[in-house]
């Protein structure tokens, strides 16, 4: 079936409105607070200074590599917390069985290994083309070949990303516990709608980048009047809040798209913890 993008967006907004109290709690616990803690309590390790000196790409890469090597555990913890939140949010938003908040949280914990496995396999598949292109280019010793193969591999990577984009709702809503089966199901569900989904997701990402950039700029200018310390705290709070809002919208969109492609467009919007 052809996906009606307008209906998918309207459905996502309806899901959020119908479950706004529960979604607000989940967004605060799993997206806002972890990101805020990450921003406030982990040092930037010179990332800001390195970013300012954009001409020295090698120095910036070294600083970033050192940061990841030193704080990999925090990044992993943040990713795991947000994965649990993603599963719980998708369960609340998209499951017609209308799970309670407790059910959604238990589902998040029990399905975390499945989603983690699916994400790892998807990442390997997504980056395989560019790794292959780099290997072939290195073997030939030609920079032109490397550039050409990398350019060719980018559309393949994007296509794979779109095909696997529904793996999260497949795990959270359909409760498929085999990571490979979840990825295969996502691949089948997106058949015939890959290009439409790509432009839909691209539009959402562009809108998020533009809105977040403008808001951060305005907030930064206003808070600059209060001093550097308050500016940093304010920007951290604003960034975490924007991230939480975008996460909720993104998962609602995924839940709505999944519902429609699964042939459930006529199903009433689930409300967490409520019975028919």
Q: Give me the pLDDT at residue 34, please.
A: 94
Least confident of 40-49, 140-149, 175-184, 262-271: 262-271
d(CA 55, CA 104): 47
Copy the structure tokens of residue 160: 């794979």
d(CA 72, CA 78): 10
pLDDT over 50 (residue 46): no
d(CA 214, CA 202): 18
Per the prediction, the chain carries an average pLDDT of: 85
Q: Give me the pLDDT at residue 146, please.
A: 67
Q: Give me the pLDDT at residue 274, please.
A: 53
Cβ-defined contacts of 192-195 (< 8 Å, 24+): 192/1, 192/2, 193/2, 193/3, 193/261, 194/159, 194/162, 194/163
Half-sphere exposure of 251 (CA within 13 A, CB side): 32
pLDDT in tens, 62-88: 777 887 888 888 889 999 999 999 999
Please answer whether residues 101 and 22 qualify as being in contact, where contact means their C-beta atoms are separated by less than 8 angstroms: yes
Q: Can you tell me the mean pLDDT for 202-219?
A: 92
Of 159 and 60, more confident: 159
pLDDT over 50 (residue 206): yes
pLDDT over 50 (residue 165): yes
pLDDT in tens, 81-136: 999 999 999 999 998 777 888 889 999 999 999 999 999 999 999 998 888 877 77
Q: Can you tell me the mean pLDDT for 256-268?
A: 72
Confidence band of 266 (pLDDT split at 50, 70, 90): very low
Is 192 exposed, middle or buried, given 0-12, 13-18 or 19+ CB atoms closer than 10 A? exposed
Q: Give me the pLDDT at residue 37, please.
A: 92
Using the Cα atoms of residue 228, residue 234, residue 236 and residue 238 in order, give the sign of their dihedral: negative
- What share of the chain has pLDDT > 90, as a percent? 55
Confidence band of 45 (pLDDT split at 50, 70, 90): very low
pLDDT over 80 (residue 44): no
Select the highest-mean-pLDDT range: 43-52, 65-74, 180-189, 264-273: 180-189
């Amino acid at each position: 079936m052809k996906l009606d993008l307008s209906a998918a967006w309207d459905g996502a907004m309806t899901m959020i409105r119908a479950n706004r109290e529960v979604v607000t709690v989940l967004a605060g616990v799993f997206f806002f607070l972890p990101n805020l803690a990450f921003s406030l309590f982990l040092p930037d390790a010179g990332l800001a200074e390195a970013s300012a000196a954009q001409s020295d790409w090698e120095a910036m890469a070294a600083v970033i590599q050192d940061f990841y090597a030193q704080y990999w555990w925090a990044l992993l913890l943040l990713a795991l917390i947000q994965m649990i939140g993603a599963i719980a949010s998708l369960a609340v938003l998209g499951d017609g069985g209308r799970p309670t908040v407790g059910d959604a949280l238990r589902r998040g914990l029990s399905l975390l290994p499945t989603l983690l496995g699916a994400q790892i396999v998807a990442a390997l598949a997504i980056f395989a083309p560019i790794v292959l292109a780099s290997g072939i280019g290195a073997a030939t010793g030609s920079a032109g070949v490397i550039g050409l193969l990398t350019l060719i591999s980018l559309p393949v990577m994007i296509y794979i990303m779109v095909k696997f984009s529904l793996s999260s709702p497949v795990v959270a809503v359909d409760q498929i516990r085999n990571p490979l089966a979840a990825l295969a199901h996502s691949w089948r569900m997106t058949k015939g709608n890959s290009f439409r989904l790509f432009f839909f997701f691209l539009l959402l990402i562009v809108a998020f980048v533009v809105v977040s950039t403008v808001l951060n700029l305005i907030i930064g200018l206003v808070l600059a009047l209060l001093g550097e310390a308050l500016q940093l705290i304010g920007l951290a709070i604003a960034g975490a809040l924007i991230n939480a809002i975008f996460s909720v919208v993104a998962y609602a969109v995924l839940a709505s798209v999944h519902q429609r492609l699964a042939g459930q467009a006529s199903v009433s919007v689930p409300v967490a913890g409520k019975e028919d």
